[in-house]
Structure 1
Amino acid sequence: MSLDLPSAPVAKDAKSQSEWRHAVRRALLGWRSALDAATHQSLSNQIRTHFTTFLENRAGATVAFYWPIQDEVDLRPAMQAHLNAGGKAALPVVPGKDQPMVFHEWTPQTKMAPGFAQIPEPQGTDAVAVHVLLAPLVGFDSAGYRLGYGGGFFDRTLAAEKRRPLVVGIGFEATRLANIMPHEYDVPVDVLITDRGIQTVRDQAIPVDDRADLTSPPCHLSS
């Protein structure tokens, strides 16, 4: 399935870049939702296989993953295998608007209840420090900058962490962009895992002139 994206803006002003990111996010979410079930399953299986390989040397790690929404890759089977190997899993809890996420321990037996944007959150488990943080990718570039839903939760959470975990972006290779035009405070991931494989992000910082100092567009977690 082809992915038709808006052309990058000629102007580098904040408004043009914000509008472009908004349009690209819409297009990427539309592409993902339009994937037929067989293709989505095939690509997801490839991603889960690479993710399982990534976890092989991290059997004792506490891994914060995400509850799948809007046709994201479902990593729960891989996380179950990680638990079976002696690791721990956690899911994010959003205390409130514009606040960093905290992570609570999760197992398949954990009671869940709707939280922010009606996304299920763990109930009755302890907050835990995490070694690895998984970030779902709506889109991304090779420098590790991610295009999320526009809420800024991951960047806000990383800024608040006393000890930064290893951040791993999870998404479909087809959503790789040349440059997502990151905001000034966007934080790149350390590792990218897609259906193509595992990529450790090198020092590919985008020049300051190509980065916009602007606020994230409206959040599309529930659109």
Structure 2
Amino acid sequence: MNKSDIRKKMLQIRNNMDEHEKQIRDNKVFSNIINSNEYKSSTNIFLFVSYNSEVDTHKIIRHSLKEGKRIFVPKVISRKDGMETIEIKGFSDLEKSKHGILEPCSDKYANPEVVDVVFAPGLAFDKNGGRLGYGAGFYDRYLKLLKKSTAKIGLCYSFQVVENVPMEEYDVRMNGIITD
């Protein structure tokens, strides 16, 4: 399958999950994240703010802030300029973008090199670190700005792990995947 076919298939499956199944899966992902070595050993976490049928990160964000971890989330500047790293202290620091996605209100950018671990979204992942995003390249460009020691972990549901994600030379591989 090509990238476009995989994207369509995964979005369809994810969007058709019933709410109860999604909640069960999200709780398992939450538990697997907070018990992971990458999470436990990190202070500065970069995490997407989930939207629609993505793995729920809202619970992870709230839990992390209560634990005293620093949470950084993406703010899309433009297709050309990519996205920036912005620290949040809570959901009151977020507002809906023109696409309906929660993003930071602030323009106080942080240096991506402060990040210890990135939990990245994707439509599909493979066991070799391949990641298939939504196709705009925001994360691939962003991940190249991190220090080499920053762990890059894909977050998804188990059905989103496929045999092989087609990769281009500009695509950035993950160090691991956390699923339900």
Give TM-score, length-normalised by structure 2. 0.88
Tell me which of 125, 131, 138 is aligned to 2:116: 131
Stretch deviating more after TM superposition (99-108 or 124-133): 124-133
1:57 aligns with 2:14: no
Gaps of 5+ in 1: 1-7, 9-19, 196-223
Q: In 1, are the aligned partners of 2:115 and 2:146 still within 8 Å (CA)?
A: no
Following TM superposition, the consecutive aligned residue runs of length 4 or more in structure 1 with deviations greater than 6 angstroms are none
Tell me which of 20, 25, 28 is aligned to 1:38: 20
Structure 1 residue 155: deviation in Å?
A: 0.6
Gaps of 5+ in 2: none
Output the CA distance in 1 between the equivalents of 2:17 and 2:59: 21
Q: Tell me which amino acid in the other structure corresponds to 2:5.
A: A
Q: How does 1:11-90 map to 2 (within 5 A)?
A: 20-54=2-36, 55-58=39-42, 61-90=43-72
Output the CA distance in 1 between the equivalents of 2:5 and 2:165: 12
Deviations 1:182-220 (A, max 9, x none): 11211111121011xxxxxxxxxxxxxxxxxxxxxxxxx
Structure 1 residue 130: deviation in Å?
A: 1.7
**1:178: which partner in 2?**
163
Aligned length: 174
Q: 1:79 to 1:120 in 2, by over 3 A?
A: closer
Instruction: Give identity over the alignment, percent.
Output: 25
Tell me which of 149, 162, 167 is aligned to 2:152: 167
1:155 aligns with 2:147: no
RMSD across aligned positions (CA): 1.7
Larger radius of gyration: 1
Q: Tell me which amino acid in the other structure corresponds to 1:73.
A: V
Output the CA distance in 2 between the equivalents of 1:109 and 1:120: 9
Q: Tell me which amino acid in the other structure corresponds to 2:164.
A: N
